A = this chain, B = another copy of it.
């Protein structure tokens, strides 16, 4: 994957830092490349469902943001993105030391950006895919008053 400019890197990380839910869940941005972003969420006892796996909603939260920031990484300066829909297939329980979402742009259209993401559970150096997400991002003009 192509690296991004310092400007784009700062734009994505700055926007991520303003997503307060990420600090609440404990998620961190792990990589910003052109059209591909990684977010990591360490296991903690504050984000679980009833079987003590990480809640599907937390999996979806970092998967959605990884896809959204993958899209933002290829936007021009006067455009941002908003999620209009996503679908997530849960392949296996979200357990381990941490989960990692990787979002990628697969179609960069004028009005819509289509993204595909994978989420992995990581434990002791091994990695297992636990989810698959397909998300649509709507391109919005930032001149309209919305920040990134």
Contact = CB atoms under 8 A, between A and B. Distances in A.
Contacts of A89: 84-85, 107, 114, 134, 136
Interface residues of A, number: 51
A33 interface: no
A45 interface: yes
B132 A116 contact: yes
Given A21-B49, A46-B21, A64 B58 contact: no
Contacts of A21: 25, 46-49, 55, 57-58
Contact of A58 (B57, B62, B82): B57
Contact of A48 (B19, B47, B114): B19
A64 B84 CA distance: 17
Interface of A: 15-16, 18-21, 23-25, 45-51, 55-58, 60-62, 64-65, 82-92, 106-107, 109, 111-112, 114, 116, 129, 132, 134, 136, 138, 146-148
Contacts of A90: 82-85
A58 B56 contact: no
A22 B57 CA distance: 10
B91 A88 contact: no
A48 B20 contact: yes
Given A87-B87, A87-B134, A116-B132, A61 B58 contact: yes
